[in-house]
Structure 1
């Protein structure tokens, strides 16, 4: 039997992996083409000579097993690609920070997140040690499912280092904090009022005003930022958290740096430098 399968171009067909999946799904032999036929946006595979185990299997059952095997192969290949991406240190692809070459500069662009592509978040930037790695944001947290109109906050990007801690950018619709369109962070209220609303997105669970140790206000051009130092013994993100918040357009953007008790003594200055560098 000959059949032709259209796969998304992101799935680079591996004959060995697909063959092993077919064997476990009732397909006893698989003869891949010598060369995939590539068309715009898809990879076309002509797959001839597929024989099925058992004389009593119906053609419909065979087709189901065949398609199940292809779906499984796609998932494995995509997961393999994501896993490899998470292992790459940012210093291997981000430019050095000109003011301090011990850091690299991450400058977000529309290709990085759904919210940036939708125009709900303006490009932002911050510095990172070159040994840090970007981690994948789960789809349910990324805002990918609700752009361009999200009712709840979402995570833009995440980076971490096992020895130093982690950072993330959280975006929240402005309407959750104020009814005034295009409000500045000052329009929303004091630093204490803003962190009372956004605190759970710093800690990952709950926020208590007693956990706030220090606040400060700084300006860069026309943009105002609120900065925070928090000691959060019950936080999921870590017992030490630094945060910086600002508002622009229809969104409040929060940059959070977190560390546990073991990481904090050696990494606190690095984390502070990263938070200080954040701007939008």
Structure 2
């Protein structure tokens, strides 16, 4: 009988050549005796009707498992999507010609679940090229409740160990007013808005006396409330700057936070970032 061989192919591993002996199960030769010719024919027929050798099946399964493991390792090495990059933003964001030392970020539907659902309009701001975009935990991202979230969620986060951090917080309008498509003026004064959203600035609580300064600014048809906060007990940092506006069914709040040490050297940078925020 001619020898046979089999090959199992995986796209991530080289082909495995099985030895010829694996093509069929070996057996001892039949003993000579009466009816030996009939016995030989019976043995040959039995061998031909046997299922594929289990060794080849086992080898195939082993190849599949190894290939799957290699594919998993490949995915682990694949770069993270834009919304989860933990690399300096200067590597993927364009510089701002009018503001040397800054790069430009404009959120698109690729960045967050709320933007894809149409609950938030695209927003933009500038930041230093050395900052990093960080992951937003799923429970904070609003991913689980789109398109109808009852509580505020975090859109994006960026930070720098030496200068501070910023985040964009979005709140459904219905949480602040029953009036659909309300402007930020319809919601109330800057102090009233911050009384509702303050915990999302500080990470815990906000007292009225921690609001040092408020400003109302009109950019086109959009009104913005800006804040300077001194928050010694805040989880986000003892210094916070914020800027908020309402558009569509959402209030969007941009927050820049710093510790005392960070604030000494970065307050001008953080203020430039907050001033640049627009929806």
Q: TM-score, normalised by structure 1?
A: 0.74
Q: Which residue of 1 aligns with 2:121?
A: 122
DSSP 3-state at the match of 2:261:
coil
Report deviation, 1:74. 4.3
Change (3 A) 1:50 1:120: same
Q: Which residue of 2 aligns with 1:167?
A: 166
Match of 1:49 among 49, 60, 63: 60
Q: Which residue of 1 aligns with 2:180?
A: 181
Report deviation, 1:72. 11
After superposition, the CA RMSD in angstroms is: 3.0
Moved more, 72-81 or 148-157: 72-81
Report deviation, 1:136. 0.7
Residue 134 (structure 2) pairs with residue 135 (structure 1): yes
Change (3 A) 1:252 1:50: same
Deviations 1:81-100 (A, max 9, x none): 44996442111111111211
Q: Distance in 2 between matches of 1:76 and 1:239?
A: 42
Q: Which residue of 2 aligns with 1:240?
A: 239
Preserved contact between residue 86 and residue 135 of structure 2 (Cα < 8 Å): no
Structure 1: gaps (5+ residues): 6-12, 16-31, 35-46, 53-62
Q: Which residue of 2 aligns with 1:198?
A: 197
Q: Which residue of 2 aligns with 1:60?
A: none
Q: Which residue of 2 aligns with 1:43?
A: none
Q: Distance in 1 between matches of 2:268 and 2:277?
A: 15
Q: Which residue of 1 aligns with 2:33?
A: none
Residue 99 (structure 2) pairs with residue 88 (structure 1): no
Change (3 A) 1:214 1:92: same
Deviations 1:173-222 (A, max 9, x none): 00000000000000000000000000000001111112111101001011
Question: Which of structures 1 and 2 has the bigger CA Rg?
Answer: 2
Change (3 A) 1:122 1:264: same
Moved more, 223-232 or 78-87: 78-87
Q: Which residue of 2 aligns with 1:152?
A: 151
Q: Which residue of 1 aligns with 2:226?
A: 227
Structure 1 residue runs of 4+, over 6 Å off?
2-5
Q: Distance in 1 between matches of 2:77 and 2:199?
A: 30
Change (3 A) 1:192 1:81: same
Q: How does 1:103-118 map to 2 (within 5 A)?
A: 103-118=102-117
Q: TM-score, normalised by structure 2?
A: 0.75
Q: Distance in 1 between matches of 2:119 and 2:77?
A: 28
Change (3 A) 1:239 1:4: farther
Change (3 A) 1:110 1:189: same
Change (3 A) 1:204 1:176: same
- Paired residues in the alignment total 231
Deviations 1:86-138 (A, max 9, x none): 44211111111121121111011111111111110000000000111100111
Report deviation, 1:73. 7.6
Q: Distance in 1 between matches of 2:86 and 2:68?
A: 26
Q: Distance in 1 between matches of 2:124 and 2:75?
A: 31
